[in-house]
Amino acid sequence: MIRNAVAALALPFRATPLIATTTLVLTVVAGAAPASGAWLTMLLVDELTSGTASAGRAAFLAVTSALVGGSAIALLYLGGHLGEVVQQRVALTVESRLFQRVATLRGLRQIEDPAFHDRLRLAEQAAQEAPGTISQFTQELVRSLVLLVSFAGALLVVWPPMTLLLLASVVTAVFARLATARREAATEEAWVATDRRRLFYRALLTDVRAAKEIRLFGLGELLHTRMVGSLATVSGARLAAARRGTLVQSGLALLGAVVAGAGTVVVAVNVVSGRSSVGDLVLFLGAVAGVQTGLSGVVLQLGEAGRAVKLFGYYLDVVDTRDDLAAGTGVPAEATIELRDVWFRYAEDGPWVLRGVDLTIPAGAAVGLVGVNGAGKSTLVKLLCRFYDPQRGTITWGGVDLRELDVEELRRRIGVVFQEFMAYDLTAAENIGIGQADALGDRARIVAAAEVARIADTLQALPNGYDTVLSRTHADEERTGVTLSGGQWQRVALARCLMRRDAELMILDEPTSGLDAEGEHRVHDTVRRHAEGRTRLLISHRMAALRGADLIVTLVGGRIVEQGSHDELMDADGEYARLFRLQADGYQDARAG
Ligand SMILES: Nc1ncnc2c1ncn2[C@@H]1O[C@H](COP(=O)(O)OP(=O)(O)OP(=O)(O)O)[C@@H](O)[C@H]1O
């Protein structure tokens, strides 16, 4: 808690040191103003009731008192504005640091971990709320402390026991509010997973890609009920925590009123008996009102700040998240890739997905990978991109373990069309250009890639050509958005991969599954010519597409069961030959039918 609070409090001074310090000074000055005003009023009242009042001194005291009050308000406004500036700067800093960490995580483990997403949601919430809440609270606290100390000094002069009574009620209120804040933060943590599900259902209900299935399968009501159910659970828990907090606060406010009332009676009796002056009573009443107003503000904010400080811990956790992949520094050389006894599973207690894979992918060769659904083909691709490290065995590139290579350098040398490629809600040009981000503005290169992927004419014919937004959701007023067909999107993804002209390894994970037969044939043909000399790993369920590969590898249950050329594997009459014949027979039957 203390580490979180210190880090959160230090943030404004790191984000904008000068303004944060000025704000602090202004706050201190503004905090001292009410007590000075009350003191001047006491002097004024005593002057007027002394029997020897001088009009000049009285006027001077009245004007000074008014000036102090007026300046205090002006300082308050100025301090408020500077506080806003600090808040904005801090918000920018924390949001940037948070998502910089997310963006630079090397592997996929955290991104695939629901617990990380929960932490991230809490962290984002904290990053947005905490700095503002905490810096506002700090200002309020400083102001209230100065106010409290100055009034407490004044009260000491009038009637010392009252100071102690007021301080006692302050301490009780502070502890009670802190306890409520802890409970509220615990509620937030306990329900974050439920809230995540609510957001998931919410996103699903508005997702264009899910809209067809939701309507056809009549899922709308089901998803809506689940979404509202999650919301009701979360808001019920929040209300229960707030209810308890309100009860405690009301009780404490009553206690404060009783303490103040008793004190006023005693001072009033003192005035009657002549032991105190009327000015003392005025000062006392001003002090009680000032301290109570100041404190109720700070105590109320204390809850918010306590909750924010606790949640801020998640922000620090995410910002300090350790990468699950150690950083290497080597630069990859010639792309002969070797897998030696590679074992991999996604979770420590999960089943092995790859079991002792031994494979050599020679530089410049075209290697075909076949296997039934779930055999582990896409997993192998992910390991080659070093999204994960294998639990056992090694993968080397040009003889160097992938773990020792600079992961960004490694990935720069790989072009991939993933099985689940992305269709970005961006323009056609951007959808292709992002394959090589530093060539995003190189239209000639984008068009050339589109031509190889045989999608150039389609994109050129769009309402705004390559500048057409490929989305119905994010189109703007000037530009209409369009959506492409599944096969057209696949060609765009292929063009994106082809932007990486220097990629030494090209991986195509079922790049043609959405293409028509003629399209598939052409794409394989062009990719073969275009990528000649580069290492290629091709995955396809259409066996004929891999026939010309230099080496074909069959994966069964995470093991390589055979490898060789098409002819060798057909002669061996194993799994590959079985799958190949199955498809060939299918085509044969279709013709016969
Ligand atoms: N991110 C993941 N987390 C946990 N398990 C996963 C993950 N991705 C894949 N798996 C599991 O790993 C196994 C192999 O999946 P993989 O996607 O590598 O198969 P594949 O051979 O590419 O299949 P397909 O032909 O259907 O694309 C499957 O049992 C799958 O459930």
3-state SS class at 223:
helix
Does residue 366 share a domain with residue 276? no
Does residue 130 share a domain with residue 69? yes
170 contacts 227 by C-beta, under 8 angstroms: no
pLDDT number for residue 377: 93
305 contacts 354 by C-beta, under 8 angstroms: no
Radius of gyration over every alpha carbon of the chain, rounded to an integer in angstroms: 35
Q: What's the CA gap between 122 and 313, in Å, rounded?
A: 9
Nearest residue to 30 via CA among 66, 63, 79: 79
Asked if the structure places residue 325 within a domain, the reply is no
Asked if the structure places residue 397 within a domain, the reply is yes
Asked if the structure places residue 419 within a domain, the reply is no
Does residue 295 share a domain with residue 358? no
Last residue of a domain, one of 469, 499, 529: 499
pLDDT number for residue 451: 92
Query: Ligand 1: which of 342, 346, 381, 537 to mutate, judged by most atoms within 8 Å of the beta carbon?
Result: 346
How far is ligand 1, taken at its centre, from the CA of residue 393, in Å?
19
- Which residue lies with its CA nearest to atom 8 of ligand 1? 379
For the chain, give the number of residues: 593
Does residue 462 share a domain with residue 571? no
pLDDT number for residue 169: 63
Tokens of 324: 């699950």
Q: Is 114 in the pocket of ligand 1 (CB under 6 A)?
A: no
Q: What's the CA gap between 368 and 376, in Å, rounded?
A: 14
Task: Please state the ipTM of this predicted complex.
Answer: 0.97
Asked if the structure places residue 450 within a domain, the reply is yes
Q: Is 376 in the pocket of ligand 1 (CB under 6 A)?
A: yes
Pairing of strands 337-344, 392-397: antiparallel
Last residue of a domain, one of 298, 319, 340: 319
Domain that holds residue 570: 331-413+502-593
Amino acid found at 159? W
Q: Is 379 in the pocket of ligand 1 (CB under 6 A)?
A: yes
Model confidence pLDDT, tens digit, residues 49-107:
887 878 888 888 888 888 888 888 888 888 888 888 888 888 888 888 889 999 989 99
Residue 467 CB neighbour total at 10 angstroms: 14
Nearest residue to 392 via CA among 340, 448, 346: 340
pLDDT number for residue 444: 95
Helix pair angle (220-272, 192-206), 10° resolution? 130
pLDDT number for residue 479: 62
Q: What's the CA gap between 45 and 264, in Å, rounded?
A: 17
Amino acid found at 527? V
- Which residue lies with its CA nearest to atom 31 of ligand 1? 374
Asked if the structure places residue 446 within a domain, the reply is yes
Nearest residue to 255 via CA among 137, 149, 171, 159: 171
* C-alpha angle 62-68-73 in degrees, rounded to nearest 5: 130
Does residue 179 share a domain with residue 274? yes
**DSSP track, 154-176:** HHHHH-HHHHHHHHHHHHHHHHH
Last residue of a domain, one of 499, 530, 550: 499
Q: What is the tally of structural domains in the chain?
A: 3
Does residue 406 share a domain with residue 480? no
Does residue 300 share a domain with residue 204? yes
Does residue 486 share a domain with residue 468? yes
Q: Give the nearest ligand 1 atom to 379 CA.
A: 18
Q: Is 180 in the pocket of ligand 1 (CB under 6 A)?
A: no
Nearest residue to 143 via CA among 91, 67, 80: 80
Q: Is 346 in the pocket of ligand 1 (CB under 6 A)?
A: yes
Nearest residue to 327 via CA among 378, 381, 389, 380: 389
Does residue 452 share a domain with residue 336? no
CA distances from 387 to 437, 479, 504, 579 (A): 20, 37, 18, 30
CATH number for the domain spanning 46: value is 1.20.1560.10
Does residue 563 share a domain with residue 491? no
Helices (DSSP H) in 531-574: which residue ranges? 566-572
Spatial CB neighbours of 558, under 8 Å, sequence gap ≥ 6 = 352, 353, 354, 355, 357, 375, 376, 379
Does residue 127 share a domain with residue 61? yes
What residues pair up with 369 in beta bridges, in sequence order?
A: 539, 553
Nearest residue to 195 via CA among 134, 130, 114: 114
38: exposed, middle or buried (Cβ count in 10 Å: 0-12, 13-18, 19+): buried
Write the DSSP symbol of residue 330: B
Does residue 394 share a domain with residue 506? yes
Element (H, E) at 152: helix 114-158
186: exposed, middle or buried (Cβ count in 10 Å: 0-12, 13-18, 19+): middle
How far is ligand 1, taken at its centre, from the CA of residue 379, in Å?
6
Strand order in the sheet with 414-417: 414-417, 505-509, 535-539, 366-370, 551-556, 559-564
* C-alpha angle 430-505-336 in degrees, rounded to nearest 5: 165
299: exposed, middle or buried (Cβ count in 10 Å: 0-12, 13-18, 19+): buried
Regions of the chain short of the pLDDT cut 50: 590-593
Q: Is 352 in the pocket of ligand 1 (CB under 6 A)?
A: no
516: exposed, middle or buried (Cβ count in 10 Å: 0-12, 13-18, 19+): exposed
CATH number for the domain spanning 481: value is 3.40.50.300
- Which residue lies with its CA nearest to atom 24 of ligand 1? 373
Asked if the structure places residue 324 within a domain, the reply is no
Nearest residue to 369 via CA among 389, 391, 339: 339
Q: Is 496 in the pocket of ligand 1 (CB under 6 A)?
A: no
